[in-house]
Structure 1
């Protein structure tokens, strides 16, 4: 048991170190990479008024690497700075990358935690109902709808919503996180109402294209569970239908989806780059897109590391906790959760 936890945590740490090492390679070793681009930018903006030593110091401030030191020392300094939360300085916004992404992260977490929660909840409820009415009109209709919506990329729905509800009908705003002119951030009902109002269209685009996959998975798992022998025994014992549905069918059918919900965190955050750009929602994805477009390499690398870390942590949590919610997994030969 202990060896398993140590092994999985070690793999997660190794993955994160590998990702950070990759960003170092991209910054330091690629021809025309961030260090050279930043040096050229500084020379142009300073118009030759800085010495080589000052130039190297500015490069170090922005990307946490001093070009004067040996490459091994550069790598150690870079790893140390990243692991301590110093991602360098954004030259698009003139602030530290930690500050830019730190202010954007709560908004992305808010939007996608609610979106993922609504998607997962609606999907499993609908999937369970579809399984109980297997072969009926409701099951056939909703299976077709779920399959159709699940095959549409979320950004297509997002663009359609912006066009119809934003530009044509003017019902919802097309950009921003809240009404900057009417409310001020704080613990007030007006502020929270404005935040939810501005998040409606992004949430609808996430839920509309995401619930179908969960519904179909829940339907398939529930149908499989409904055919198990222990359910026949439960019915013969005269257990109430509600108890059978919730404690036997629902609980066992939802377990395989537990890993998926944690793994989807990383993929959802990756999709935030497109979604937040469409709605001009200033979260991590929005700033990452701006960094890519403006060649702000420190901000780009910081966003990349943050999204990768979220994926790795999601996988690690799924591995470490799956055996706790499903004791059967801890009795098997393998406890891999995916």
Structure 2
């Protein structure tokens, strides 16, 4: 995990400092052509303020300063918003986490439940129709679903707002009106991710459950007189979900990455919205800060999956445990 994050920081540093026409060169060019004349020392200080990299320092020293600043939360100054990148992302990240967490929870709850039913009624009309629907919706990108929902439910029917995170006239707080407004504004983005995502989870769960249902230990469990409820929950459900656990953690990164386009469609000011808008504004410090934050989310998600998989499935533990199985 640490090696991956260091590599990503190094690539960000290379983009800022070493690439021709990179962020540092762009900011320097803007400052040199500004109406207010600045000395080279002042320009270097401004570039360092925005990018956390001083272009006049030797590369090893500038790299050390950049890594130190990044690890302490100093991601530079946004060119477009005239705020620190850390402040912008700290304000936006909870909204992105809200969308991603609720979406992922609903995707796996609906997908696992539907997949289990499809496996239980294998080869039935319900299984055939559910599999067909799951395949179709999995083939549709989430942003297509988002545009369709926005056009029909927001612009045509007027049931939902066309953008924003919350009603701007409300004061932030744990009031009923504020919570209702947050849910009202977030329902379409969440629905877009859920509709486009639960089909693949259902198909994976169906395949795992069918494979588990064919194992001999289920027959032994029935011969021992165990109830169908206990067999379904303890044996079938648990062993079918286990192979999907790592995918759940990895999907965290996918949802963070997907939020870049989704939040732009709904004008939802989360981390993805600012990363996308920074592209058009050439706000490289904000772009690099968002890139580092999304990368950190992916790396931490995979790392947590690696650490906890042995607790969820003892067969993936130590070598002694594997030999005992």
TM-score, normalised relative to structure 2: 0.97
Is the 8 Å Cα contact of residues 314 and 321 (structure 2) preserved in structure 1? Answer: no
Q: C-alpha displacement at 1:44, in angstroms?
A: 3.2
| Alpha-carbon distance in 2 for matches of 1:302, 1:333 | 43
Query: Which of these residues, 2, 9, 14, is aligned with residue 20 of structure 1?
Result: 9
Q: What secondary structure, in the 3-state scheme, does the structure 2 residue paired with 1:275 have?
A: helix
> Aligned residue pairs: how many?
322
Query: Which of these residues, 30, 33, 53, is aligned with residue 22 of structure 2?
Result: 33
Is the 8 Å Cα contact of residues 253 and 294 (structure 2) preserved in structure 1? Answer: yes
- Over the residues paired in the alignment, what is the CA RMSD in angstroms? 1.3
Q: C-alpha displacement at 1:169, in angstroms?
A: 1.2
Judged with a 3 Å threshold, the aligned counterparts in structure 2 of structure 1 residues 333 and 23 are, in CA distance, closer, same or farther, namely farther
Post-superposition, which runs of at least 4 consecutive aligned residues in structure 1 deviate over 6 A?
none
- Name the residue aligned to 2:243: 256
Query: Which of these residues, 221, 231, 240, is aligned with residue 244 of structure 1?
Result: 231
Correspondences of 1:130-169 after superposition (within 5 Å): 130-169=118-157
| Alpha-carbon distance in 1 for matches of 2:146, 2:320 | 44
Q: Deviations over 1:52-93 (max 9, x none)?
A: 111111111111111221111011101111111110000110
- Name the residue aligned to 2:284: 297
Q: C-alpha displacement at 1:41, in angstroms?
A: 1.8
1:89 paired with 2:96, answer: no
Structure 1, unmatched stretches of 5+, are 1-11
Correspondences of 1:283-322 after superposition (within 5 Å): 283-322=270-309
Correspondences of 1:91-110 after superposition (within 5 Å): 91-110=79-98
Is the 8 Å Cα contact of residues 315 and 321 (structure 2) preserved in structure 1? Answer: no
Judged with a 3 Å threshold, the aligned counterparts in structure 2 of structure 1 residues 333 and 287 are, in CA distance, closer, same or farther, namely farther
Q: What secondary structure, in the 3-state scheme, does the structure 2 residue paired with 1:16 have?
A: helix
Q: What secondary structure, in the 3-state scheme, does the structure 2 residue paired with 1:41 have?
A: helix
- Name the residue aligned to 1:225: 212
TM-score, normalised relative to structure 1: 0.93
Judged with a 3 Å threshold, the aligned counterparts in structure 2 of structure 1 residues 91 and 266 are, in CA distance, closer, same or farther, namely same
Correspondences of 1:157-236 after superposition (within 5 Å): 157-181=145-169, 183-236=170-223
Q: Deviations over 1:84-114 (max 9, x none)?
A: 1110000110000000001000000011100
| Alpha-carbon distance in 1 for matches of 2:121, 2:135 | 17
Q: C-alpha displacement at 1:332, in angstroms?
A: 5.0
1:75 paired with 2:63, answer: yes
Q: What secondary structure, in the 3-state scheme, does the structure 1 residue paired with 2:79 have?
A: coil
- Name the residue aligned to 1:63: 51
- Name the residue aligned to 1:272: 259
| Alpha-carbon distance in 2 for matches of 1:87, 1:265 | 23
- Name the residue aligned to 1:52: 40
Q: C-alpha displacement at 1:331, in angstroms?
A: 4.5
Structure 2, unmatched stretches of 5+, are none
Q: What secondary structure, in the 3-state scheme, does the structure 1 residue paired with 2:33 have?
A: helix
Q: What secondary structure, in the 3-state scheme, does the structure 2 residue paired with 1:246 have?
A: helix
| Alpha-carbon distance in 1 for matches of 2:154, 2:31 | 41
| Alpha-carbon distance in 1 for matches of 2:145, 2:287 | 27
- Name the residue aligned to 1:6: none
